[in-house]
Amino acid sequence: MKSASRVATCTWILCLALPVAAAEVVYETDFDSPAAVAGWTGLGTAAELAPGVGGSQGLSAEIPTAEGTGHRSARIKLPLAALCGTRVRVEAMVRAETVSQPPNPWNGVKVMLHTTSPAGDQWQQQNSVFGTFDWKPVRFLAAVPRDATAAELILGLESVTGRAWFDNLKITVVSRRRPAGGPAKAGPVYKGHALDRLRGAMIGPRVGAEDLRVLGGQWKANHVRWQLIWGGFPHGPADRGDLAAYDAWLDSELERLDSLLPVCEEMGILVLIDLHTPPGGRNEARECRLFKEARFQQAFLKVWEKIAARYRDSATVWGYDLVNEPVEGILGEGVMDWHGLATAAARRIRKIDPEHAIIVEPAPWGSPEALELFEPIEAERVVYSVHIYQPHQFTHQGVYDAPVGITYPGEIGGRHWDKETIRRALRPAIDYQRDYGVQIYIGEFSAIRWAPGSSAHDYLRDVIEVMEENGWDWAYHAFREWDGWSVEHGPDKQSRARSEQPTDRQKLLMHWFEKNERPQDGAG
């Protein structure tokens, strides 16, 4: 609530070259004075000043029902010097009256950060805000590219009718781009195995012994990323938060893994245990509930103690992938952020199992650019992992009714994409490896099979060549999971049958698998 004695604020803080402390406010306004609304566009046309929190002044946007759904907003340009290469918390007090249900989660009441960089535009916000409600906080975390060329904040309504009010807006830097590391560690980089390279695939939960014999025997893969996944991704039964049910599910999955590890050993396949579904699952915003309630973090630590105790003596297990594509969002009361939780889990594992590799993906989503805001954890024998699906418009075309007909190489999302562009997209991982002397593992990469012509093959070829030139271990997404990612299926989206002859994509993977060494002395 605002105090009557509070001075109206509209604050800009420029950080330039100086390091910043955590939680530095870079923009704040309460709309209570002419200075507090300076710089806002759209006032008087798409939005207006109106009563705010506690009877003070705020901002409002309205689209009457009689006019039909539309888009009205106010916006302000933000200071790039303070924002480039940061992760920020954006928060505002919002209330709404009869805002209609939007056609998509990203429509509705908008508190949105829009950034532009050479990689394209990003629109970051809290989704699914609509209905009728009194003043409440709307908050989200957003990453600002280090090479951003523009940033603006947008308040308003999109593709709905109704009215919304906004007040007490604040943008706070919560972390800055990691410092460049010192000289790389002397000696060989820790990989967790004694082979030249791990090349393989993530596997689906229905893969059985004969499938593994095909992958390891006929295709000659020497590695699988073994999903511990409950239901689907990103949502499944774990979202209900029933920890007893979660434990029962996990026990059954580990029993299944136990039954197939001898086949992996027979085929010379090293296994990465991937906790695809952590305790608590995910909320509607697809954020891990690990970061909302402390009980899920405690369960998570116990899960890794259980897994480490079970597989510490296994020569067929390569390592432990702590969480698939972690997403924090706004932290709940009394919980650790991902860096702290990953460190805690690694320490618990190391008390039980000092040998197997620990694989850590940065938040959010295990993306390459997330490494720019993630320093190494305080633990030994750690490998850092990212996933590469950029550009998403190409790799995921036709998924959830996304537009199709997008070719690679070519112009995608206003940017030319080719092998060099992929190399630039993976530059944060290349730099991380150089700065800290650590091994990089690409745990997922793929392209949808119905991409036009040879596009999917050409994209996979270029990604693999960039991974190989950097000496990375990798797993294709995925082997005998959903057929959209299957290299055994042809380009016809309607056909669910495997091709009678190997596709060019399958031949590409097998060409690289042919180079694999087999484990002789275990995970090393």
What's the pLDDT tens digit per position in 364-406?
999 999 999 999 999 999 999 999 999 999 999 999 889 999 9
Report whether 87 contacts 331 (CB < 8 A): no
Of 204 and 97, more confident: 97
From the list 349, 380, 342, 382, the residue with the least C-alpha distance to 363 is 342
For every residue of 307-330, DSSP letters joined together read HHHHHTT-SSEEEEE--SS----S
Q: CA gyration radius for the chain?
A: 24
What would the two tokens of residue 9 be?
């604020």
Is there a contact between 86 and 15 (Cβ–Cβ < 8 Å)? Answer: no
Q: Which has the closest alpha carbon to 280: 335, 227, 318?
A: 335
Please give the pLDDT value at position 401: 86
d(CA 397, CA 491): 12
- The predicted structure's pLDDT at residue 9: 38
- Whether residue 410 contacts residue 416, with contact meaning beta carbons closer than 8 Å, is answered with yes
List pLDDT tens digits, range 167-179: 999 999 998 888 8
The fraction of the chain above a pLDDT of 70, given in percent, is 94
Place of tokens 């309630």: 293
CA distance 345 to 308: 10
Going by C-alpha positions, the residue among 223, 100, 175, 198 that lies closest to residue 373 is 175
* Cα atoms in the Cβ-side hemisphere of radius 13 Å centred on 5: 0
Q: Give pLDDT, residue 182.
A: 63
What percent of the chain stands above pLDDT 90?
A: 87
pLDDT at position 508 is 99
| Cα torsion through 109, 115, 116, 122, rounded to 10 | -60
- What the block records as the tokens of 359 is 């694989």
Q: What residues contact residue 486 under an 8 Å CB cut-off, 6+ apart?
A: 449, 478, 479, 480, 498
CB atoms closer than 10 angstroms to residue 443: 23
> What are 427-456's pLDDT values in tens digits?
999 999 999 999 999 999 999 999 999 999
pLDDT of 414 reads 87
pLDDT at 262: 98
Tokens found for residue 431: 């730099």
What is the C-alpha to C-alpha distance for residues 208 and 87, in angstroms, rounded to an integer?
A: 42
Domain ranges of the chain: 10-175, 199-513
Q: Which of the 8 DSSP states describes residue 214?
A: I
State how far the alpha carbon of 271 is from the alpha carbons of 208, 265, 285, 420, 488, in Å. Answer: 14, 9, 31, 31, 22
- Return the pLDDT at 119: 77
Q: Render pLDDT for 295-354 as a digit per residue (tens, 0 to 9).
A: 999 999 999 999 999 999 999 999 999 999 999 998 999 999 999 999 999 999 999 999
Q: Give the pLDDT confidence score for residue 14 in this predicted structure.
A: 34
Instruction: Give the three-class secondary structure for 151.
Output: strand
pLDDT digits (tens, 9 = 90+) for 117-164: 887 789 999 999 999 999 999 999 999 998 899 999 999 999 999 999
Give the closest residue to 299 by CA, choosing from 330, 344, 339, 256.
Answer: 344
3-state secondary structure of 110: strand
Q: Which residues neighbour 312 within 8 Å (Cβ) at sequence distance 6 or greater?
A: 352, 353, 355, 356
Query: What is the rounded average pLDDT of the residues 42-50?
Result: 95
What rounded mean pLDDT belongs to the chain? 93
Q: Look at residue 178 in the predicted model and tell me its pLDDT.
A: 86
What backbone phi and psi angles, to 5 degrees, belong to 436?
-115, -5
Q: At a CB cut-off of 8 Å and minimum separation 6, what does 497 contact?
A: 489
Pick the CATH number of 10-175 from 2.60.120.260, 3.40.50.2300, 2.60.120.200, 1.10.10.10: 2.60.120.260
pLDDT in tens, 197-233: 999 999 989 999 999 999 999 999 999 999 999 998 9
Question: 381 — phi, psi (to 5°)?
Answer: 60, 55
Report the C-alpha gap between 274 and 272 in whole angstroms.
6
Residue 8 has pLDDT above 70, yes or no: no
Which one, of 6, 101, 102, 109, lies nearest residue 53 by Cα? 6
17 confidence band (pLDDT: 50, 70, 90): very low
Could you tell me the two tokens for 442? 């690409």
Q: Does residue 7 have a pLDDT over 90?
A: no
Written as one string, the DSSP assignment of 419-477 is: HHHHHHHTHHHHHHHHHHT--EEEEEE---TTSSTTHHHHHHHHHHHHHHHTT-EEEEE
> Which range has the worst mean pLDDT, 11-15, 267-271, 274-278?
11-15
pLDDT (0 to 100) of residue 524 = 45
- Could you report how far apart the first and last alpha carbons of the chain are, in Å? 59
Of the candidate CATH numbers 3.30.70.370, 3.20.20.80, 3.50.50.60, 3.30.70.360, the domain formed by 199-513 belongs to 3.20.20.80
Instruction: Say how far apart CA 126 and CA 263 lie, in whole Å.
Output: 45
